[in-house]
Each structure stands twice: as structure tokens, then as C-alpha cells.
Amino acid sequence: MDSSQLLGITTFTYLFSTLLYVAILVFKTARLGRIATGFTFIAWLIQTAGLILRWRESYQMGIGHAPLTNMYESVVFFAWVIVILYLLIEWKFKTKIIGAFAVPFAFLAMAYASFSTDISQTINPLVPALQSNWLIAHVVTCFVGYAAFAVAAALGIMYLVKKMMKNGEDSSARPTTLPPLATIDDIIHKTMVFGFIWLTAGIITGAVWANSAWGTYWSWDPKETWSLITWFLYAITLHARYTRGWSGTKIAVLSIFGFMAVIFTYYGVNFLLAGLHSYGSS
């Protein structure tokens, strides 16, 4: 069995987990909670094995490098981080219903990686600019931030759904109901702060790497520019929360718009704008 098969299994297992979490939400079947979490964790373990195997396969081909160097590998890693962050949040806050909103992001990422004709699953030698010790540091920090913003957006959607249901804090102790609005808002805020710290680290490591590869810390490449735009969007959001007390619906909506900026920074720039980072789309 090769890495592609393991990652394919991961895709369908995340789909099954998503359906289980949605069933908890729709049919109020709390007993499915442990099963859903169990399948999600098993899928994450399979995905971990797939990433490790792909790393090993690259060495067997004589071009050994971490599986983080093209669009396919980065999307898979993106899904991997989303799930581990979600599982940590579920463990911390004892709320499985969040999975109905967060796990679909991981499934969609894996489905895109597995079935899209826009990206190649081939393991290729690294271009010279990627042959650096900064590769893992930069990619990991950026994608931990991106994944945190994905989870924050999922929580933002959950907040708006809860708001539209108009059930406020009612029945918040039951595992089949959405958490209280104040709890969701608090988790959104903490997740955004976490993501902001990692995105900041990603931009810094990227600047150091750029100086090593291209002789300049900042060149206003489209990817760099949109990373900065995304950083400022989240910085303004967090600043408004601290100084003006923004919370609730405003922060939920901004978490969704922020993630849209993340998606364009990550995906749109690679395919729509030419630049020094264009090799990442291969």
C-alpha cells in the first residue's frame, strides 16, 4: 500500500466522520459522539501514516524531502492540522458538536487533493528556491495558522447558525445542542489569536528564507502581499476586540471573511497571479 491509497482512505473516513457529526446535530443522537470522534482520530492516524510514507517514498526516489513542497502535499497537511486542532478543541471544551462544522473543512481539503485535476500528486525534485532548511519551519508555521483560521471560520458559521436558531443559552448542557453563544465567541477569539501568532511566525520565517534564496527579505511578490493583507485583516479584528469590545456576530462574520482572505492567499495567488511562489501550484 502506498501513500496515495492511505490518503484516499483518509478522505472517505473524514466524509464518514462528517456525516456522523452532522447526524448528532440534526437527529440529536448524542451516542454517536464517541463513534464520530473515534473515526476522526483513526482517519487522522491513517493520514499521518500516509504523510510519513510519502516522505519515505521521496527518499526511495532519491529526492528526499518533507511532503510539504507542492499544492497537493500542502492541502493534505492543511487538512491534517485542521483535524488535530479540532480534536484538541473538542478535548478541551468537551463539545463534540463542533465537529459538524470543523471536520467538513478537512474533508473538503482532502477531497480536493484526491480528486482535483488542477494539481499533481507526483513527487518531484525540489526547485532550487525550496532547497533550504527554512522549508519546514516556514510551511509548518503558515499552515498551523491557516488551519487555526479554518477552525475559527467553522466556529463563526456555528455562531451564526446558533444565532439564527434563536435558542440563545437554552439547553446548553446537552451534548446534542450547540454551545452557548458566549462560549463559541470565546473559542473563536482564542483560535484566532492562536492562528495569528503562527501566521506571524510564518511571515517572519518566510522573510528570512526569502533573503537566503533571493537576497531580499521582502519583494512584494503577490503571495507576500496577500499574506500581509491577511495578517492586517486579523490584526485589525483582534485590535477591535481588545479596544472596542467587538464580539459576537461581528467577530463571527470577520472570522469567515478572514478565512476567505486566507484561501485567496493560499490558493488564489498560486493559480491566478504569477510570482516567485508560483512553483507551489505544481
CA 99, CA 89: separation in Å to the nearest integer?
10
Over residues 138-147, the pLDDT tens digits come to 999 999 999 9
Over residues 83-114, the pLDDT tens digits come to 999 999 999 998 899 999 999 999 999 999 99
Q: 168: how many CB neighbours lie within 10 A of its CB?
A: 12
pLDDT at 196 (0 to 100): 98
Over residues 36-79, the pLDDT tens digits come to 999 999 999 999 999 999 999 989 988 888 898 888 999 999 99
Q: Take residue 24 and report the three cell numbers written for it.
A: 448528532
Over residues 209-265, the pLDDT tens digits come to 888 777 788 788 888 889 999 999 999 999 999 999 899 999 999 999 999 999 998
**Residue 84: φ, ψ to 5°:** -65, -35
CA 36, CA 128: separation in Å to the nearest integer?
43
Q: At what angle do helices 134-165 and 71-93 cross, to 10 degrees?
A: 50
Give the C-alpha distances (Å, rounded to integers) separating 19 from 14, 27, 109. Answer: 9, 11, 16
* DSSP type of residue 178: P
250 exposure class (CB count in 10 Å sphere: 0-12, 13-18, 19+): middle
Nearby residues of 223 by Cβ (< 8 Å), 6 or more positions away: 265, 269, 270, 275, 276, 277, 280
Q: Model-level pTM?
A: 0.92
Secondary structure (3-state) at 150: helix
Q: Are 11 and 44 a contacting pair, CB within 8 Å?
A: no
